[in-house]
Structure 1
Amino acid sequence: MLRSLLLIALVKLGHEETINEGIRRFHIFLEDRKTPLLPPDNRKAAYLAVMRTVSTSNRAGYDVLLKIYKETSEAQEKSRILCPDKDIVVEAVRNQDAFYVLGGISLEGREAAWAWLKDNWDHVVKTWPSSSLISDFVNSTVSPFTSEEKAAEVSEFFATRVKPSFERALKQSLERVRISARWIDSIKSEPSLAQTVQQLLLQEF
């Protein structure tokens, strides 16, 4: 579990060797879904590495992951779709792919997803009336934020829109945001943080 988390962290930090290795193993996985080179625990890192190459001008990785999503029946696999490019996020949430794209939203795409959700809230409530789906939308879009300012913005938006069916999900999501904000404040004061990150970046895939 720790190895998987470390690989994901290195990809998010932009470690080129880890990203390139993840993309290499992903292409092997496309040819052989049972390859031992990309076990389930490491796929999230590889998927994220692929999505870091995606933009509106280069969407090949997104299209391949979308194909994997449609082919698999495993909920865990579906949740690994990650979108770093804000324009791809906006394009995806405008169509039928909205639910699972928001469900796997990355930190890089969170502002685009939040902007879309605010602009299309009435449409979301009308299209996905199920309380569990609305809760998932709120949780997936709000939880990635990490500042008290964003928590206040979210609270203000939902002040007149919250309903009992997703009130609990909203409270839990806001609590995650505030916990993340406090954690970030604490690590900023850690003097050895920069050295630790550099050591991690020197590790191999």
Structure 2
Amino acid sequence: MLRGELLTALAQFGHGITQNEARRRFDAFLNDKNTPPLPPDIRKAAYVAVMRNVSTSNRLGYELLLKVYRETDQSQEKARILGSLACCSDPDIVLEVLYFLLSPEVRSQDAVYGIHVNIEGRETAWRWLKDNWDHISKTWGSGFLITRFVSAIVSPFSSWEKACEVEEFFASRGKPSISRTLKQSVERVHINAKWVQSIQNEKHLAEVVQELAQRKY
């Protein structure tokens, strides 16, 4: 079960060999959806590798993944694709993906699969959440899914300033259904901020990392 997670992480972090192999297998998958080189358990790694190379000037991979999404009738495959689309490093593409989640093409219960963005898309996702909060609150506010929007977009931040910004935004928009999740998410931001601060205070960390990187095991 960890194999797919590991390959996805390598694709996400830009490991060249993994990305090249993933795209090669994705090309084979486009010609044959049952191709042995790309079984379901590692498809997300391929999808992430494709999206990590997508930009406003090079949209082909994004368009191909949307084509696969629209052609498949398997809910698990749709969820897998939705969970990969926002891995792009281009903020404009990330924003397009987030608005795609609100479109009729995505079932309301599936939208939460696509809101997990990478580090380059955090600010974009936060602005999107604020701009569309009224619609999101109206659409998902009666169930537990709305808490996923809050936790997925707020929790990854790592600064005291962002925690204050989140609290200020929700001060007049809070509701009982998200109060606990909002509190936990802000606490997570505080924890992340403390961790960043402790790392920054490590005077010799850069030298240690460089030394470890040069070692041969």
Confirm whether residue 31 of structure 1 aligns to residue 61 of structure 2: no
Tell me the SS of whatever aligns to 1:14: coil
Distance 1:129 1:139, change over 3 A: same
Indicate conservation of the 8 Å contact 2:44/2:81, yes or no: no
Confirm whether residue 92 of structure 1 aligns to residue 86 of structure 2: no
Indicate conservation of the 8 Å contact 2:4/2:41, yes or no: yes
Indicate conservation of the 8 Å contact 1:8/1:44, yes or no: yes
1:18-58 CA deviation, whole Å, 9 max, x = no partner?
A: 22122112222333344443344433322221101212222
* TM-score with structure 2 setting the length: 0.74
Distance 1:44 1:185, change over 3 A: farther
RMSD value, Cα: 3.0
Gaps of 5+ in 1: none
Confirm whether residue 81 of structure 1 aligns to residue 84 of structure 2: yes
Higher relative contact order (CA 8 A, sep 6+): 1
Structure 2 match to 1:42: 42
The total of aligned residue pairs comes to 200
Indicate conservation of the 8 Å contact 2:56/2:92, yes or no: yes
* TM-score with structure 1 setting the length: 0.78
* Rg larger for: 2
CA shift, 1:156, in A, is 1.9
Structure 1 match to 2:155: 143
Indicate conservation of the 8 Å contact 1:146/1:181, yes or no: yes
Give the stretch that moved more between structures: 160-169 or 174-183.
Answer: 174-183
Structure 2 match to 1:130: 142
Structure 2 match to 1:171: 183
Amino acid at match of 2:150: V
